[in-house]
Amino acid sequence: MPTARLLPEYLVRRYHGWKATTYEENKGWYQHLAEDGQHPRCMVISCCDSRVHVEPIFGADQGEFFVHRNIANLVPPHNPDGHHHGTSAAVEYAVKALKINHLIVLGHSRCGGVQGCYDMCSGKAPELEEKDSFIGRWMDILRPAYEALPEGDDAERIHQLEQSSVLTSMRNLMTFPYVTENMEAGRLSLHGLWVDISSGALQQFHPETRTFTTV
């Protein structure tokens, strides 16, 4: 592969620092993970955003969470059409192979993907409407939620759309037969969360009030 290059030096230094400290101090745990395999109880579907660091929010150790990240933490509807579906494949593996007990969708503030959807649907990002835009076609999953937004201030509507991205994914997860089957059998629970990057506040979707409340 002639276009590949070696790691930048600062990442090499960071790796050696991790290997000499964190790894050495926890070598037995890493070897246990390698030999015993993974047995996470939770799957978290989160955004790719580099500011969202899932494991530290819950104090989770390596091996505890099965994490899938994509643009705006979206899950498409179940669609077994024989094409490539990375997010759906991750859900299938988590539920069928890993037999997780909790399925969490985690949205966040200042989400660039949600902002892109808002701009696209409001006519401010025509480039995302192009058929060859992977981002635009992915954000089409959220378009119905944009169309359902009430009139109002842009900032508030974008905030609502961020939380709608969580609800959209939760609804779409319910179209996966093995998700609903395991939920009905009491083996799996579905959770919707939204985190404010600036304040660290965490909100969860409350099924009775149909609103997000602070944890």
170, pLDDT greater than 90: yes
Q: Give the pLDDT of residue 2.
A: 73
Q: Return the ∠ at Cα 38 (arms to 34 and 42), rounded to 5°.
A: 150
Average pLDDT, the chain: 97
Tokens 């494991």 locate to: 55
Over residues 63-86, mean pLDDT: 98
Over residues 148-165, mean pLDDT: 97
Over residues 45-55, mean pLDDT: 97
State which amino acid sits at residue 58: F
1, pLDDT greater than 80: no
Over residues 43-60, mean pLDDT: 97
Over residues 1-22, mean pLDDT: 94
Residue 111: closest CA among 73, 81, 67, 146: 73
Helix residue spans in 37-176 (DSSP H): 54-57, 86-92, 112-121, 134-139, 143-147, 154-173
114, pLDDT greater than 80: yes
202, pLDDT greater than 70: yes
